[in-house]
Amino acid sequence: MVEIVYLNGSFIPYSEALVPFEDRGMLFADGIYEVVRAYDGRLFALEGHLQRLVASAQEIQLEIPPAAELQEALLGVMERSGLRDTSIYLQVTRGFAGPRSHGVPQGIRPTVFAAARPVPRPDPRHVAEGARAVTVVDNRWHMCHVKSIGLLLNNLAKQAALDVGAQESLFVREGVVTEGAATNTFAVFGGELWTHPEGPLVLSGITRQIVIELAQAEGIAVREEPYLASRMYGAQEVFVTSTNLEVLPIQSVDGRSIGAGVPGPVTRRLQAAFTRRTAALATV
């Protein structure tokens, strides 16, 4: 089956999806992106993803197509993929502005790309028993709330985890846990759920916000406050969230067991609540 993708207003075979080498996304990582999940053929939390895309675009002065056009692209690649459960990647760069030049050119057409792929599911053992994480120094820029395609340091952090047999890296800035290489991070202290507050040091995760809402509905106290890595080692539970990982428990950090070394009751409740939320899409 030929994979069909979306590029600048057209649905075309993947092999025909070409952009100029000097597209500013290629030269300067001058672009933004979103990853949207579909469950049983229905896009999940689409409004939140599009709102974040708009917010990221405004931060970097990037003109993007209307939300309706972007939604059409997402639905179009999903329908053409034949997948009911899929992960859809959407990227918008500033586009092609001629020979390489610094500055922010005005009036050029953005490059818009979307593709639907099978969901990269985590290992079932990690979902059931917990994954392993390591900490890395967070030396990224101070605009992490922009979902930029410039992910070099995130990729290096992820590789640092893989190199030692772990599954995720947790960024630590001046002793404080900010977020994961490709996730948001939560810890449970005294039965309360803690996560770094929104702002320029973390990405405002869509799954993060849903989990906070689910926790509050479950009667779990939530504190959006910074916490130290040294304190995290003594947490009762740690888990990470993302569009594709959903709610993933962490059994150890830097080789130190978290709590009893198995997913705890708060994590389990939120995993179940999240599953109920996504399962409800099939009845809409």
Q: Where are the beta strands (DSSP E) in the chain?
A: 4-7, 10-13, 31-39, 42-43, 86-93, 111-117, 131-137, 168-173, 176-180, 184-189, 192-195, 222-224, 237-242, 246-253, 256-257
Active site residue 147: yes
Sheet with 4-7, strands from edge to edge, namely 10-13, 4-7, 111-117, 86-93, 31-39, 42-43
d(CA 69, CA 64): 10
Q: How far apart are alpha carbons 5 and 253 in whole angstroms?
A: 39
SS3 14: helix
Q: Are 110 and 65 in contact (CB under 8 A)?
A: yes
Helix axes of 46-59 and 206-217: crossing angle, nearest 10 degrees: 130
Structure tokens given for 37 = 């999940």
> Which of the 8 DSSP states describes residue 23?
B
Contact 119, 4 (CB under 8 A): no
CA–CA gap between residue 160 and residue 165 (Å, rounded): 9
Active-site option among 24, 94, 147, 208 = 147
Which residues are CB-neighbours of 142 under 8 A, at least 6 positions away? 200, 201
- Active site (catalytic) residues: 147
